[in-house]
Amino acid sequence: METSIPTSFEESLRYAEFLQKALFPKQRHFDRIFKDSFVLFKPMHFVSGDFFWLTERNGLIYIAVGDCAGHGVPGAILSVLMHSLLDYAILNKKLKKTHKIIREVNSRFIESFSSNDTHTPFDNEWVDITLCCIEPSSQTIFYTSCRREILHILGGKHILHKGNKHPIGDWQYNANSAFSSACFNYNEGDIIYLGTDGFQDQIGGERSKKYQKSRLHNLIIKISDLTLSRQKAELEKELDQWMDGHLQTDDICIVGIKL
C-alpha cells in the first residue's frame, strides 16, 4: 500500500496538524460525558503547544488543559509528551489524587530532559496546566493547577479557583511537595472553564494592547447563560473583532463544561 508523503515544509506541518488533532479528545467524547461543552482550540502555526486531555476511570472523570513552552513544532512535541505522561500516571500507575498525578508527571517530565550535556542551549522546558478530577457521586471537583485558574459559574455568581504558582518542569521547584491540590463542590448545571493564556494575551484593539484576563472573564460571565456552542461562537467572534488584522500571537485553548 502506498502512503502519501508530504513534499514541502508547509505540507509537513499540515500533516503534523492532522496527527496532533488525532491525539486529542473529539467532541463526541465530551458529548458522551458532559451535558454540554465546547473546545475553542486555535494553534498559532498549524500545530500547538496548547493541549487538552480527557479520560474516565472508575467513576471519575479526569480533564486537563495545558500550555507547553513555546508554540509550533517544539510546543506540539511537548504536548504529545504531556499526553503520554498523563496516560502513564493515571491509566498505568493508576494514581487517583491530582497532586500525586502532577508530581509523577513533573518527575517524569524533568527526567525526560535530564542530560549530562551542560552545553545545551535548551534548558527552560515547562508546562502550565490545570488537572481536574470530577467525582459525580459527591459532586466534587478535585484539582491541581500550575499557574492557571478555573473559572466556575454557579447560580448567577462566579468563583475563580487558583492553584500553584509554578509550572511543571520548573527546576527551582524540584521538590514534589511543592504541588498541592484543592477541591470544591458543584451543582448540576454549573459551568467550569479551563484555558491557557493565549486568548487573554492576544494583541489587538485600537491601541494594539493585550486583551487581558479580566476582560476575558467578564465576557465569559456575560455570555454564560447561552448554550456552550453559542458561547464558543461568541468567543470566536470577539477574538476576530479584537485581532482586526493583527497576527495571532500565541496558541489558544479554552474548554467550557456544563456539569
Domain ranges of the chain: 17-112+125-197+250-258
Residue 147 CA to residue 168 CA, distance in Å, equals 9
Q: The C-alpha cell of 151 is what?
A: 473559572
Q: Is 139 left (phi over 0), alpha (psi -120 to 50) or beta?
A: left
Q: Is 99 left (phi over 0), alpha (psi -120 to 50) or beta?
A: alpha
The pLDDT assigned to 113 comes to: 82
Among residues of the chain, what percentage have pLDDT more than 70?
A: 91
- Whether this model's pTM surpasses 0.75: yes
Contact present, 160 and 149 (Cβ < 8 Å): yes
- 130, 134, 140, 141: CA torsion to nearest 10: 0
Residue 86 CA to residue 55 CA, distance in Å, equals 10
Burial of 64 (0-12, 13-18, 19+ CB in 10 A): buried
Give every residue of the chain whose pLDDT is below 50, as ranges. Answer: 1
Q: The C-alpha cell of 109 is what?
A: 517530565
Contact present, 60 and 97 (Cβ < 8 Å): no
- The domain made up of 17-112+125-197+250-258 has a fold known as Phosphatase 2c; domain 1 (3.60.40)
- 152, 157, 161, 162: CA torsion to nearest 10: 120
Is residue 90 helix, strand or coil?
helix
The pLDDT assigned to 17 comes to: 86
Give the model confidence (pLDDT) of 104-142 as tens digits: 999 999 888 876 565 555 556 889 999 999 999 999 999
The pLDDT assigned to 178 comes to: 76
